Structure 1
Amino acid sequence: MASETARRRRRTTVAVKDSLRELRNQLSLLNHQVGGRLKIKDADLDCLELISREGPLSPSALARRAGLHPATVTGILDRLERGSWVVRERDPAATDRRAVTVRAVAGRAQEVFRQYAGMNSALDELCAGYTEEELALIAGFLRRTTELGRGVTDELASQ
């Protein structure tokens, strides 16, 4: 009986991992469509999201957080700045006068959010079918999964 329970648990765990991979793929495809409509490359959209959520950031902090080479981030920031998605500003707290931070242009965020309106509405409908306790469990699982992913990503980036 214990071995059957262990097998069912392994199958369920594999199903969760498979679903997360499928979700990652689907969200990647959605982001690609959104980026295409906004005329932003996929990596640029990822960096814009990081800046919007965690910014303002220095270019080197963004490179570390995104796991990208600093020269790659320079090109991304050049494109985002040309598109008026971000601005580079001198960091008044820095001892190096060349130091800059990058922040998202506030008014432009609505353009991005509009592209996700269909997904947000669909998620609202999906969540309506769950109890508050179930939503708390799902939110906790996703938050912890994100934290694990961040840790593994940082580890790979530092190797």
Structure 2
Amino acid sequence: MDSTLPGAASAARRRRRLNHRIKDALRDLSVQLALLNHQVGAHLDLRDADLECLDLISRYGPLGPTALAKRAGLHPATLTGVLDRLERGGWVVRTPNPSDRRAILVQVIKERETEVARLFSGLNNAMDGICSDYDDSELVMIADFLLRTARAGRIATDDLAES
């Protein structure tokens, strides 16, 4: 009888438990970030979708409405309502696209970004403390894991949207 089998089975169980633990932690993180985003949105009088679009415009903008709708996973008509609310609230401005005068670009009004940053400062400060517990090579690994996980989430989202 091969004596490596019990050890291999034990290693496989341990690996499955670790994978399960990571997936559970990511689900918990997702819920906590959604709750935080909801609270930030409530403080700013923004709906969840409005805050998500504001973040996307801030990170990737200026963006055209079609590109923003695709990134946000929203129907263009829904996005129009989001942009109307953000513009009325003084969060974004629509400007002509310099490369195509028939199109528009949406960009965040920079002065308003500090309001959002202030509400996320508790999490950002906590994250700085957490990151200080890891060395650079560990942070590189964590960043890679999170980027790959986000990419897997985008692919799964796109696959569901196409089915």
TM-score normalised per structure 2: 0.92
Residue in 2 aligned with 1:39? 45
The CA deviation at 1:92 is 2.2
**What's the C-alpha RMSD, in Å, of the aligned pairs?**
1.1
The CA deviation at 1:4 is 1.2
Residues 52-131 of structure 1 correspond to what in structure 2 (within 5 A)? 52-94=58-100, 97-131=101-135
Q: Summarize deviations over 1:29-57 as a string: whole Å, max 9, x none.
A: 00000000011111100000011101111
Residue in 2 aligned with 1:21? 27
The one-letter code matched in structure 2 to 1:93 is: S
The one-letter code matched in structure 2 to 1:116 is: F
The one-letter code matched in structure 1 to 2:104 is: V
TM-score normalised per structure 1: 0.94
Residue in 2 aligned with 1:133? 137
- Greater RCO, CA 8 A, separation 6+: 1
The CA deviation at 1:105 is 0.8
Which of 1, 6, 24 is the equivalent residue of 2:12? 6
Identity %: 57
The CA deviation at 1:155 is 2.6
Residue in 2 aligned with 1:143? 147
The CA deviation at 1:140 is 1.0
Identify unmatched segments of 5+ residues in structure 1: none
Say which SS state the counterpart of residue 19 (structure 1) adopts.
Answer: helix
**Which structure has the bigger radius of gyration?**
2
- Number of aligned residue pairs: give it: 157
The CA deviation at 1:156 is 2.4
Q: Which runs of 4+ in 1 moved over 4 A?
A: none
The CA deviation at 1:157 is 2.6
